[in-house]
Amino acid sequence: MLRTKIAVFVSGGGTNLQALIDAEKRGEIPSGKIALVLSSNDKAYALTRAKKNDIPSVVVKRKEFPSQKEYEQRMKAILEENGIEMVVLAGFMALLSEDFTGLYPKRIVNIHPSLIPAFCGKGFYGLYVHEAALEYGVKVTGATVHYVNEIPDGGEIILQKAVAVLDGDTPEVLQKRVMEEAEWVLLPKAVEMVARRLQKGN
């Protein structure tokens, strides 16, 4: 059976991309194949990760397009050219409008470094999420994989995993623990679940 073709959208280091590449190599994503890496930043180390693993990559910068609509039309064209059926946002810092997300209902997934609905939505990304969790004094945080819709972090939840907050945690230490214990575990599992559903034509 043909595997679901996946594009991973990135903007930075690509640690979650690497987690997916490693999981695919271990046979943990049998229903899907990472067929393309799309970056909003030509300096993203994620592009190097793609190259090292012989995954085609492309850079599409928002500022090179006069409007959001034209930017998204270019991305849509690239996805169509590559036969992409599913998109994974892995640290992708560019915003997507409803015009784009609406084209791929339950086909775009995102990983967020908290237990949604806590510490999510506009402005909550990267270290800001962990700073907010520590400031609030929560004892448990984690990660969430969810479908993407027009509301930031507002789509249906696919999987969640809790991670303990420890005394003396800094945002950087907590970020690393959430990545290792939750993000890198959850994302491959969720990608396989969605890829398998799409493979079956659901």
| Active-site residue set | 112
Question: Measured between alpha carbons, how far is 110 from 66 in angstroms, rounded to an integer?
Answer: 26
Q: What is the 3-state secondary structure (H, E, C) of 146-193?
A: EECCCCCCCCCEEEEEEEECCCCCCHHHHHHHHHHHHHHHHHHHHHHH
For 131, the enclosing helix (H) or strand (E) is helix 127-136
Give CA angle at 122 (190, 197), nearest 5°: 20
How far apart are alpha carbons 183 and 180 in whole angstroms?
Answer: 6
C-alpha–C-alpha distance, residues 110 and 151, integer Å:
12
Nearest-CA neighbor of 9 among 44, 45, 38, 34?
A: 38
Most distant CA atoms of the chain, gap in Å: 50
